[in-house]
Structure formats: C-alpha cells, structure tokens
Chain A
Amino acid sequence: MKILIIEDEKSIRESIATYLTDERYLCEMAVDYSSALEKIEMYEYDCILLDITLPGGNGLSLLNELKNLNRLDGVLIISARNALDDRIEGLNLGADDYLTKPFHLSELSARVAAIIRRKQFEGNNEIQFNEINIDTYAKTVSINKSPLELTRREYDLILFFVTNKNRVISKNAIAEHLWGDEMDSIDNFDFLYTHIKNLRKKLTDAGCTDYIHSIYGMGYKFSN
C-alpha cells in the first residue's frame, strides 16, 4: 500500500511516516505544493494525506489537480483549521475524510485504513485477524465464522483495535475515537473501561483468544 504524506511540518510528517511504515505501508513524503504536485502527477497512491496550508499553494487546489487527472487516490485532509467551510469544500472537491490537528496516530491510521478499504474493489471489505472476521460493509463481526452480537461502540472498538493491531493505543486515543468531539471532557475513563470489559467478555465467551492487553496506566495493545 502506497501512501503520500503531504505536510510541511517535519516532525508531524516523520511521525506519521514512522507510524504508518510500521503498519507496512510504503510512505512517501512531500514538503510543499510543487513537490506534492510532481509526485501526484508521476505516481498513484492508495491514500494521500493532505495538509491544506502548504508552502507554495493551497492543498485544496491539489484536490482539483487530482480531479483533472481523473485519479481515484483516496485523500485524507489533515488541517489545523477545523473550519466547517474548509471541511465541506474539501469533501466536495473529492477528499474522502477530514482530520483536524492535533490527532492521534492511531486515529489517523484507522482513517487511512478505512479509506483504502472503501477504495478497493467490492468483496474486500472484510478484515481478518486470526479467528476474528470483521465485515466493514455490514458492520458485523464473527468469531470462527459464527456471528458475534456487538453494540455499536463495541464494534467501533474492535475495529479500531484491529486496524491498530500490535500497537499501543492510549486511552485518550480510544476515548476520542469512540466519543469524538462531542465529549467535552474525557478525563474520566471509567466508561471506557466498562466497554472494554464488556467487549473482552463477549470475545472470550465466543471462544476467541483474549488479544486485548492492557498496558498499565497507559492504554491497550491488541496483539497475539
């Protein structure tokens, strides 16, 4: 899977690249408008991470370029401005998703995975992790081919875990993923523990190995 990271801030660019490379993505980087345009014109990517404010031009016009080239690359806008207008304009110009800075890398990774899944041909909307099968189209989960009844939050949780498998995910990242901006304060993680406890119980009851490892005080890791 090839990913292009268009971001002028070095530290963010490299952090994203490091995180995504570990997830076996092939990452390329562009630091400004012209180098981004050059790369877009030469290669096709599965997903392009696009910062709107770029040296030498507006990231939104790169979306126009992609449109003109009749390209189907997935685009995830990452922007410091969470202006509603920018978001709507970006999505209208063909971007697939919009993420406001600051974000968690696990969240970014989940969004990238979702975009790539959606861009792929039909039938490929299933994710397999050992005995766990997730159908992202029907939003169902089955263990060893027997369906598992999950609430919406539990489904979101297991999908988030599986797309970030083998990574330590902080409690903050999980809470923000599940409850998003709506939650004014996520200082209290009690309700998160409840959901994880319930999910873990449902998985083990269905005969699934307990892949959710809690990292003391920090978060969770979904791994063998």
Chain B
Amino acid sequence: MKLLSKYNRIYLSASIVVFLITGIGYYFVISFALIHQLNHSLKDKLTEIKTYAQSHNALLPITNTRNQIIFYFPTNNPPTKASFSNIPEYVKEEKEIIQFRQLKSIISVNGHRYEVFIREPETETEDLIQLILVITCIIAAFFLLLLFVINRLSFQNIWKPFQHTLAQIQCFNLSTQNEITIQPTDITEFESLNNAVISMSGKVNKEYLSLKNFTENASHEMQTPLAILNARLDLLIQNENISESEIGQLQEMYQAVNRLTRLNKSLLLLTKIENRQFSETETIQLDQIIEEKIVQFGDQMKVREITIEKEIQPVALKMNHHLADIVVNNLISNAIRHNCENGTIKISLNNEEMTISNTGPFGNVDHNNIFKRFQKGRNSEGLGLGLAIVKQICDQYDFIIRYTFENNLHVFRIVF
C-alpha cells in the first residue's frame, strides 16, 4: 500500500469519527437549547395567564394560533408544579403528526381550579436542527475534500527529496562507482536519511575500491615470485646431471608455476573487467575474430581430431576488441577441452546470436553454477575461470548467455 493511501485512510476515518461525534454533540446541544427556549416561551405564556387571572379574576381569552394552542379544563386536583412534556398530535392542516411541547399547570380563578395546557409545535426546532445538521455535513465534506486535495498536492512535493534519494539508491552500482547525489531538504528525517545514505555509499565504495586494488596489487605482486620460480627452473634444467626422477619433479613444478601464472592472469583479467578497465569500444567484426580463433586452435583440434562446422554471417558489434577476443577464445577452448575424440564443434553466428556447441560426455553439468568462478567439471584441467570471465564480459554488454544441453550437444548461446 502506498504511504499516501495509508495516510489518507487513517486521517479520513479519524476525521469522519470526529465529525460524527461533534455532529451528535452539536445536535444535542442545539436541541437542548431550542427546547429550553420553547420552555421559556411556554412559561412566559403561563405567567401571562396567571397575571391575567389575578388582575381580572378571569381566564385569559384563548386566541389559538398555529404556533400556540391554549386550553383549560376545570379540575379538582390540588395545584401542582408546572410540568413539561412532549405530545405527538395529528394536525389537520399539515396532514401529519407533529411533536408539541406542552406545559401543564393548575391555576385558581375565582376559587375554581383549572388545568392549563399550553402547546407549541416543535416543528421549527426540528427544521432548525435539520438545517444545522445539513450545514455541518456540507462543511465536513468540504473540509475532508480540501484536506484530501491539499495532501495529495503537498505530498508529492514533500516527498520529492525522498523519491530522489530512493532513485539514487536504486541506480547505485558498485562497479560503476557512481556517487550518490542528494537534493537539499529542510525535513529533518529526510536529511538524516540522506546523510546516512551518503556515508554508507561512501564507505561501501571505499571498501570496494580497496578490495579491488587489493586484488590487482596482489596479482601483480605474485608475478615477481612466479618469475623467480620460472627463471630458476629454466636454469635448473640446464644441469646435465639431473636424474630422470628429478626431471619428473621439475616438470610438475613447471606445470604448477604455469597453472599459478594462468590463474593469476585470469583473476587479474576478471578484476579488470569488473573495474571496467576495458571501456573503449570499437566496431569489431565478430565473424573475423571467430575465423582467426579457429585457425589459432587448429593445432589443438587436429590433435584431438575434432571437426568444426560453422555457419557464420558477417556480424559487426560495438565492443572492446580484446574482450570480444576473450569471449570467443574461452568458448572455443572450452568446447575443445570438454570434447571427445573425433568430436564436433558447431559455431553459428548471425545478427541475433552466437552459439558454440560441442559434442562431449553428458555429465552432471550444473546449469545454475556453470558460469560461477571456480566451477569446473571433475575431469577438467581448466582453471574454472574461463566461463566466469565470459559471463562477466556478457554482463558488461548486456548480452544474455545461456547453457543448454540439446540434441546431445553442449550449447553455449549468446544473445546480443
């Protein structure tokens, strides 16, 4: 639920309750005041009747109007206090039952007692109350509507800095190292939010940079000891007195150094791609790169008697040449490594996609993790970084890469 609707819901229901309560209160207060006024007017009439009786020794002549009805009844009851009551009575002229306020009292005139009834209709009171209620309702409705509109308009304005900050957070990307900018605001809560976001993003960026630099520096620092190892091994094998078993060990050391070197280079490459150090792009002919790679890998494919089938159309792409080269290189090398003897590699390229598929044993290929770092097949002699690098490059250019196993082929498909 949006904050505005939630807020509207709460304050609208609260307002309605408040208006209802005040309305009811208002009703009672006004009707009380009006009844009080009626009572007063009835009492005045009674006093007039009493005064007339005293001075004239006779009952006040009755002049009934629509608004006042007086009648007397002779009675033997002792005088009592004047009492008020509400009497409903059918009125012919109005053709409806009307509530009357009635004052009943007993007076003495010339030694005779009379019950006096004075009635005044309450219709006016009711009309008045109705009118007041209607006006109150109209005011309430207008007030609520006004509040609603004001809220709606001011809400957008008030929350603008928040929306801006939110948009910035959503766009925040570590690898592009974009700084979060904020809109100045005089709302304390948003200001503290902004400050928190800025300090957090700054910290995260700094940590990321230092981690990034660490990887790069560590890789570079490793090159020197590797160079020493390599050079020393190169000198060691010049010794003519090495035994065969020692040669075996030296060869294994060579392999280990070689592996470490490649691992190091791959990690460095991954870091560089992540750091967008290959940002310059040019128009490359992907078909030409593939053809070159096929020639380069010719020796490896010949040894394993792998045949290549290609359906390649000229495709020009805007990307970094080095990265395009790496993608093709790693995919073809992968297709050779995981192939079987006398296997096939199929390469197809058109403007929509490039697929490189190869024959090979159907192993338990983990579709989800195949592009993750250091994920490799049980018998693979690779480093487990080649496909991770390909994925990283594809991500940079918003290409989609997918692995499927179809028609007994391991298929890697890149959709441009």
- Known contacts: A80-B224, A179-B296, A184-B330. The answer to whether A19 contacts B235 by CB under 8 A is yes
Which residues of B are found within 8 Å of A194, using beta-carbon distances? 299, 302-303
- Pick from A101, A215, A216: contact of B226, CB below 8 A: A101
Whether the pair A102, B386 counts as a contact (CB closer than 8 A) is: no
Q: Which residue of B lies closest to A10 (CB)?
A: B228
With beta carbons under 8 angstroms apart, the residue of A12, A171, A186 that contacts B227 is A12
Across the interface, name the chain A residue whose C-beta is closest to B337. Answer: A185
Interchain CB contact (< 8 A) of A172 among B238, B254, B300, B330: B254
Contact with B along A132-164 (1 / 0, CB 8 A): 000000000000000000000100000000000
Q: What CA separation (Å) do A81 and B268 show in the bound complex?
A: 10
List A contacts of B235 (CB < 8 A).
Answer: 15, 18-19, 105
CB–CB B329/A217 < 8 A: no
- Over the window 186-198 of chain A, the binary record of Cβ atoms lying under 8 Å from chain B Cβ atoms (1 yes, 0 no) is 1110110011000
Min CB distance, A161 to chain B, in Å? 15
* B224 touching A101, Cβ below 8 Å: yes
| Interchain CA distance A135-B299 in the complex, whole Å | 25
Nearest residue (CB) in A for B389 is A184
Assess A185 versus B247: contact at CB under 8 Å? Given A81-B220, A172-B258, A194-B303: no
Is the CB of A11 closer than 8 A to any CB of chain B? yes
Identify B255's interface contact among A101, A104, A172, CB under 8 A.
A172
Q: Is A22 part of the contact surface with B, judged by Cβ < 8 Å?
A: yes
Q: Which residues of B contact A188 (CB under 8 A)?
A: 300, 303, 381
Known contacts: A80-B224, A185-B333, A216-B244. The answer to whether A12 contacts B300 by CB under 8 A is no
Residues of B within 8 A of A171 (CB): 251, 254
CA distance A194 to B303 in the complex (A): 8
Q: Is B233 an interface residue (CB 8 A)?
A: yes
Question: Which one of B238, B329, B382 contacts A168 once the chains associate, using CB atoms below 8 Å?
Answer: B238
Measured between beta carbons, the chain A residues less than 8 angstroms from B378 are none
Contacts of A172 in B (CB 8 A): 254-255, 258
User: Contacts of B254 on A, CB cut-off 8 Å?
Assistant: 170-172
Complex Cα spacing A198 to B222, Å: 38
Complex CA–CA separation, A168 to B237 (angstroms):
6
Residue of B nearest to A13 (CB): B231
Interchain nearest-CB distance for A128 vs B (Å): 23
State in angstroms the CA–CA spacing of A217 and B337 once bound together. Answer: 23
User: Is the Cβ of B237 less than 8 Å from the Cβ of A11?
Assistant: no
Interface residues of B in 170-228 (CB under 8 A from A): 220-221, 223-224, 226-228
List chain B residues, Cβ under 8 A from A182: 296, 329
CB neighbours (8 Å) of B337 from chain A are 185
Chain B contacts for A18, CB-based, 8 A: 235
Of listed B229, B230, B300, B337, residue having the most chain A CB within 10 A: B230
A179 CB to nearest B CB, Å: 7
Residues of A within 8 A of B296 (CB): 179, 182
CA distance A186 to B303 in the complex (A): 13
In the complex, whether B294 has a CB less than 8 A from a CB of chain A is: no
Tell whether, in the assembled complex, residue A217 and residue B244 are in contact, meaning their CB atoms are under 8 Å apart: yes
Q: Tell me, in angstroms, the Cα distance from A167 to B221 when the chains sit together.
A: 29
| Residue pair B238, A191 in contact (C-beta under 8 Å) | no
- Mark out the residues of chain A between 1 and 45 whose CB falls within 8 Å of any chain B CB in the assembled complex: 9, 11-12, 15-16, 18-19, 22
Q: Give CA–CA (A203, B112) in the complex, Å.
A: 163
Q: Would you call A15 and B329 a contact (CB within 8 A)?
A: no
User: Does the CB pair A191–B386 fall under 8 Å?
Assistant: no
In the complex, B248 has a CB within 8 A of chain A:
yes
Partner of A167, one of B229, B230, B238, B303: B238
* Further contacts, 16 of them, CB under 8 A, given A102-B228, A103-B230, A216-B244: A80-B221, A82-B265, A100-B223, A102-B230, A102-B257, A105-B230, A105-B231, A153-B299, A171-B251, A183-B333, A184-B330, A184-B382, A188-B381, A194-B302, A194-B303, A215-B247
29 A-B pairs whose Cβ atoms sit less than 8 Å apart in the complex: A9-B224, A12-B228, A12-B231, A15-B231, A15-B235, A18-B235, A80-B227, A81-B220, A81-B223, A101-B223, A102-B223, A102-B226, A102-B257, A103-B231, A105-B235, A106-B234, A168-B237, A171-B254, A179-B296, A179-B299, A182-B296, A183-B300, A184-B382, A191-B299, A194-B302, A194-B303, A218-B237, A218-B247, A218-B250
